[in-house]
């Protein structure tokens, strides 16, 4: 148990806490548990939040020194201010801060854009907080922590997974608590009243989400709408789908479109059997295949297969490789 949870349990608090790291879920969970322990709701006059780099230090200091209203404590939250990587005088304002105010700093470990560290341990404010308060690094969860988190969530929801299914599930999701919770919630809703969540449920739900996005993205490729294509691509990334899975689904999708194109005069049942597609998708595939020539589909399929091989053999990186592939697919459609 970390120090903040110990303090909540004892109802004895430090004046300063710094929570930072890669686990947004852990940071927000600890923040919410502290607010709940102090009986602060969503809009409480004794809880003030400052967000971002444009912080007025004097205004913040004044709030820290303001006595709480009908409460023993005041909570001042400073979120993503980057005060721990820049030179500032906030520590001077904090030296004589009152015991009734808790100052809670929340920071990411690295900047999302530059990937540079936001926490500098030689920073004046960092040294002050680490000496006079509590510093907690919230790291990405390891395998045991993710397993424990998943099992607790399943138990709370009255659901269960076999050990092999749990291992498979964790291999398919991005390794953070937020994503695990979101994907679990989808699966719990998907299986309904059934208690056991099976591997097939994971595959079917993932497949439905990817197929929906894949149809949209390939429609936009057919129309040559670059902005829309990359919007759909970013949505796929937000689903935290593994790159191997995206490439495999692209390959399957173009292969099925090509087979539909080649079988335009064949009976519907024969095409469905040959392509192994869901019958209700047949009309959508026929409509989409009409947007491409046979040559275009063949070249696109070859390009996807080439990139899939290069990715598996480590010749290209994941996200950058996918972006280049999308650009090349758009180029192929434009040329044909």
Where does a domain end: 91, 123, 138? 138
Average pLDDT, the chain: 86
CATH of the domain at 84: 3.40.50.300
Q: Where is the domain boundary, 138, 159, 176? A: 138
Reply yes or no on whether the pLDDT at 98 is more than 70.
Answer: yes
What is the domain range of residue 24? 3-138
**Rounded distance, CA 252 to CA 256, Å?**
6
3-state secondary structure of 19: strand
Q: How far apart (Å, rounded) are the C-alpha atoms in residues 25 and 175? A: 11
Note the pLDDT tens digit of each residue in 258-282.
888 888 777 888 888 887 776 777 7
CATH of the domain at 286: 1.20.272.10
Can you name the residues that pair with 104 across neighbouring β-strands? 17, 77
Structure tokens at 48: 């003030």
The total number of structural domains that make up the chain: 3
Same domain, 291 and 214: yes
pLDDT digits (tens, 9 = 90+) for 137-160: 988 888 898 999 999 999 999 999
| pLDDT-wise least confident of 55-69, 112-126, 167-181, 288-302 | 112-126
One domain, residues 215 and 285: yes
Q: Residue 102 has which token pair?
A: 């808790």
* Region 122-131 average pLDDT: 94
φ, ψ of residue 110 in degrees (nearest 5): -135, 150
Given 88, 107, 138, the domain boundary residue is 138
Q: Is the pLDDT of residue 10 over 80?
A: yes
pLDDT recorded at residue 75: 94
Q: Cα–Cα distance between 36 and 173 in angstroms, integer?
A: 30
pLDDT at 247: 84
Task: Please determine, for residue 250, whether its predicted confidence score (pLDDT) is greater than 90.
Answer: no
What is residue 287's predicted lDDT score, i.e. its pLDDT?
Answer: 86
**Percentage of the chain with pLDDT > 70?**
93
Write out pLDDT tens, residues 190-229.
Answer: 899 999 999 988 877 766 667 777 788 888 888 888 888 8
- pLDDT of 314 above 90: no
3-state secondary structure 84-121: CCCCCCHHHHHCCCCCCEEEEEEEECECCCCCCECCCC
Mark whether 215 and 287 lie in a shared domain: yes
Query: 61, 104, 102: which is closest to 80 by C-alpha?
Result: 104
């Amino acid at each position: 148990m970390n120090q903040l949870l110990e303090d909540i349990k004892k109802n004895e608090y430090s004046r300063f806490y710094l929570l930072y790291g890669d686990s947004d879920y852990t940071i927000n969970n600890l923040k919410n548990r502290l607010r709940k322990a102090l009986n602060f709701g969503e809009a409480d006059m004794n809880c003030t939040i400052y967000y971002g780099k444009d912080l007025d230090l004097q205004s913040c200091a004044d709030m820290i020194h303001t006595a709480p209203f009908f409460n023993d404590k005041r909570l001042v939250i400073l979120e993503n201010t980057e005060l721990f990587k820049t030179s500032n005088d906030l520590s001077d304002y904090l030296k004589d801060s009152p015991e009734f105010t808790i100052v809670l700093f929340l920071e990411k470990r690295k900047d999302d854009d530059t990937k540079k560290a936001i926490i500098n341990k030689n920073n004046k404010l960092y040294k002050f907080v680490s000496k006079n308060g509590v510093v907690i690094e919230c790291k990405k969860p390891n395998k045991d922590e993710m397993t424990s988190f998943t099992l607790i969530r399943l138990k709370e929801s009255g659901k269960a997974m076999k050990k092999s299914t749990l291992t498979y599930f964790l291999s398919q999701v991005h390794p953070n608590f937020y994503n695990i919770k979101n994907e679990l919630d989808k699966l719990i809703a998907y299986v309904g009243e059934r208690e056991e969540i099976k591997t097939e449920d994971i595959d079917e739900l993932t497949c439905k989400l990817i197929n929906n996005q894949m149809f949209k993205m390939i429609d936009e490729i057919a129309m040559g709408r670059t902005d829309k294509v990359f919007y759909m691509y970013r949505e796929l990334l937000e689903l935290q789908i593994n790159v191997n899975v995206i490439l495999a689904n692209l390959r399957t999708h173009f292969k099925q479109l090509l087979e539909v194109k080649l079988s335009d005069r064949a009976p519907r049942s024969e095409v469905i059997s040959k392509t192994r597609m869901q019958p209700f998708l047949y009309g959508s595939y026929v409509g989409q295949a009409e947007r491409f020539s046979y040559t275009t589909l063949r070249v696109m399929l070859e390009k996807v297969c080439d990139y899939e091989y290069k990715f598996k053999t480590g010749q290209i990186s994941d996200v950058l490789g996918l972006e280049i592939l999308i650009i090349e697919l758009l180029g192929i459609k434009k040329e044909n």
